[in-house]
Amino acid sequence: MVNEHALTVSLEEFGLSKYEAQAYVSLIAKGTITAGELAYYSEIPRTKIYPTLLKLEKKKLTIISKSKPIMCTAIAPEDAFDGIIHEQINKVNAMNTLVTNLKKASEESRKSRGSEEKRYFHISANNVLAQLQIMIVGSKSSIKITVDQWGFGLLAECKEQLLSALRKNLDVKLLVAPAQICSESYRAIPEGVEIRATEITQNCFIFDETELLLVNNTNGKGAIFSSTDILGINQEKVFSNIWKNATKTKALADMTKIEAAEIYKIIKTVNENGLMYILNSLMVSKKPESDMLKLLEQNGISLKSKSLDDIIEIMDAVMQITCSGHVNFEAATKNITIESKLNSGHSLPWVSILDGCLQKQGYKTRTIYQNNSKGEKVHIKISKN
């Protein structure tokens, strides 16, 4: 059943007075009736009914007879409101034109001041994954990604899209939190994506240096910044600086999560404090190998229970990560070779640790150091005491 009160309120919004709206709705409902009957059905005071009818007639919403008693009839709605509807449409069009002109004036003002407005788009938590997959597939040159544990789980669901990007030879780089090395999400990322580890505080995806997708790990919502020339380039520079100092993880890919975490901790500890211990050993204790083992033990890392093969495997991974090098053990000659593509002593902290582990296991060692423009090589000859 039609709600006459609701119709009356709606007509008032079209510019009719309360009495006019009540009278028109009653006429539509009752058909042709006398002015007295209209006053009764519309609940309009009898003294107000005739002035109200005259106003409706002037607006071409009713027809009033010249006979007595006065009879009144409503004009059909499709005829009565055609003019009003067009009037409203014209008002809306005029408002849209006004807003467009105001926007142009604002943009011209910004350009004259040397500034330009940039926009971003909100994405609901339910649509973030689909949007991320679309943006990965749509990338043309590069994808630079920084994710925490939550964001890494999201990215792990984009394996097919990442494979598509790699098939197009895109440069795909990924920064993850150290705790995520060799995790389930880590293993879901296809080979070809270069992964490094560092302390992560945000989920940021940079596409072709021009589009950014930021995702909030507390509520899952995202925001896209498109055609952001300055923002995109700056974020790319920030990413590149972090990337240079981040820890490579390729050498850890086949290890367990616990083994990978231990090696990461060793590298972090030595990088932060190793130089001080080496210098202190050279000036004071004269035993750099023992002091380096103490440094690791002070930070909760013990290599005492490791076999020679385990230690060499750890040091080989460390050298790949830190110096693009290797550790090789020749069982026949009892000769260990540590190679580094970086020179100027980059391998010395790791040589000291390896030397110390060998001595702890009862080996006698003799170290020969070679350095050239292509890197450095250290030979450790071992024999049982």
Output the six-digit token pair for 180.
């995520």
Domain boundaries, the chain: 4-80, 120-248, 257-384
Place of tokens 């007879």: 65
What confidence tens digit (pLDDT) does each residue in 4-31 have? 777 777 777 677 889 998 998 899 888 8
Is residue 56 pLDDT above 60, yes or no?
Answer: yes
Residue range 257-384 forms a domain whose CATH class is alpha beta
More confident residue, 138 or 271: 138
> According to the per-residue pLDDT averaged within each range, which of 96-110, 132-146, 363-377 is highest?
132-146
Check if the beta carbon of residue 24 is closer than 8 Å to that of residue 16: yes
What confidence tens digit (pLDDT) does each residue in 68-81 have? 888 999 988 877 77
Nearest to 303 by CA among 266, 257, 351: 266
CATH fold of 120-248 reads Endonuclease; Chain A (3.30.870)
What are the angstrom distances between the C-alpha of 374 and each of 174, 220, 225, 339, 346? 29, 48, 44, 10, 13
What are the angstrom distances between the C-alpha of 356 and each of 42, 132, 289, 290, 360? 103, 49, 4, 6, 6
Residue 359, pLDDT score: 86
Residue 237, pLDDT score: 87
Cis peptide before 69 (omega within 30 of 0): yes
Cα separation, 216 vs 272, in Å, equals 31
Check if the beta carbon of residue 15 is closer than 8 Å to that of residue 55: no
User: Three-class SS of residue 32?
Assistant: coil
Is residue 264 pLDDT above 60, yes or no?
Answer: yes
| Radius of gyration over every alpha carbon of the chain, rounded to an integer in angstroms | 39
Cα separation, 67 vs 241, in Å, equals 93
DSSP codes, 317-347: HHHHHHHS-EEEEETTTTEEEEEESS-TTTT
Output the six-digit token pair for 332.
């026949």
The CATH architecture annotation of domain 4-80 reads: Orthogonal Bundle (1.10)
Cα separation, 64 vs 66, in Å, equals 7
Check if the beta carbon of residue 353 is closer than 8 Å to that of residue 293: yes
